[in-house]
């Protein structure tokens, strides 16, 4: 096994640890690991990312289900428009994107480059969401849950398209939406988010099966290590402040986003 493969498989454990500790961030790591370390085509990597993040999140959600920290009504309201959007995006929109998007000043923006740049923008948005102070994240939210159906449905659809294009689960956006729009306590929002991420990511992956040749041996090995990581992350979460870790991870995501933009624009070979 080459050193890059060892590094890549080791990073798959970190993907799971991130999901186990903060309920998100797994997809932010998965795509760069698959593209830059494992050397897999960006379009195929987005498909693999959907499977890895979806399966790992599903495994992690079982622990929250056992503790009664998943709100199934909120998951259903948020997920249905997301399911439709992510499946249609993977099945029809992504294959329709041309290999060459446009040329600007002699610089050709290809489909692969466009996906990575779009993903980098998502990373920058994620880093802001993780680093900023969020006074809405109350652990002790009380009272009857409220659902702003139009806004929840709209955000679910938008996140479905986002998930479909770049293979990102979107936990960094789902969790604030569940806290703000459904008035869920933070821990329940994390558990519900994992279930939503799992369902919509795997449905999105289903839209790829007929369009893509899958290396199942590699994918299952990579995913198994990520699943081990999410259980390790859940265990470590008992000893590490989730809020401090979230901010530290946010700064890491910011650096990674800037790196991807620099690599794709300034240092494209």
Query: How many structural domains compose the chain?
Result: 1
Helix axes 3-22, 242-265, angle to 10 degrees: 140
Contacts 24+ apart (CB under 8 A), 151-154: 151/181, 152/77, 152/78, 152/177, 152/181, 152/182, 153/77, 153/78, 153/80, 153/81, 154/81
Task: Using a cut of 0.75, tell me whether the model's pTM lies above it.
Answer: no
Q: In this predicted structure, what is the pLDDT of residue 228?
A: 93
Determine how many CB atoms are found less than 10 A away from the CB of residue 255.
11
Distinct helix (H) and strand (E) counts, the chain: 11, 2
Distance of CA 151 to the CA centre of its chain: 21
Q: Residue 172's pLDDT is what? A: 65
pLDDT in tens, 38-76: 999 888 888 898 899 889 889 988 888 998 989 888 888
- How many Å apart are CA 196 and CA 85, to the nearest integer? 13
Q: Give the domain extent around 60.
A: 3-265
Each residue's pLDDT expressed in tens, for the chain with a length of 269 residues: 678 888 889 989 988 887 777 666 676 788 889 988 999 988 888 889 889 988 988 998 888 899 898 988 888 888 888 878 888 887 888 888 888 888 877 777 888 788 888 878 877 877 787 777 665 444 444 455 566 677 777 877 887 787 777 666 666 667 777 777 777 887 788 888 888 888 888 887 887 777 778 899 999 999 999 999 988 887 887 777 666 766 777 787 788 888 888 888 876 65
């Amino acid at each position: 096994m080459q050193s890059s493969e060892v590094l890549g498989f080791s990073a798959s454990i970190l993907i799971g640890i991130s999901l186990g500790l903060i309920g998100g961030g797994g997809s932010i790591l998965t795509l760069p690991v698959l593209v830059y370390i494992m050397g897999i085509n960006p379009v195929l990597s987005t498909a693999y990312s959907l499977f890895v993040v979806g399966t790992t999140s599903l495994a992690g959600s079982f622990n929250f289900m056992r503790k009664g920290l998943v709100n199934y009504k909120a998951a259903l309201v948020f997920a249905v428009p997301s399911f439709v959007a992510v499946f249609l995006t993977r099945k029809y929109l992504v294959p329709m994107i041309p290999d060459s998007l446009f040329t600007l000043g002699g610089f050709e923006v290809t489909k692969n480059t466009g996906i990575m740049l779009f993903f980098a923008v998502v990373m920058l948005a994620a880093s802001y969401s993780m680093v900023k102070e969020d006074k809405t994240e109350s652990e002790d939210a009380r009272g009857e849950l409220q659902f702003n159906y139009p806004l929840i449905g709209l955000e679910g659809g938008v996140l479905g398209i986002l998930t479909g294009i770049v293979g990102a689960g979107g936990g960094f956006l789902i969790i604030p939406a569940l806290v703000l729009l459904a008035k869920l306590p933070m821990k329940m929002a994390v558990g519900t988010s994992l279930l939503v991420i799992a369902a919509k990511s795997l449905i999105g992956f289903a839209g790829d099966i007929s369009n893509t040749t899958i290396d199942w041996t590699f994918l299952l090995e990579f995913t198994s290590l990520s699943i081990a990581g999410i259980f390790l992350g859940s265990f470590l979460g008992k000893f590490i402040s989730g809020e401090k870790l979230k901010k530290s991870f946010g700064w890491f995501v910011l650096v990674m986003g800037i790196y991807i933009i620099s690599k794709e624009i300034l240092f494209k070979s």
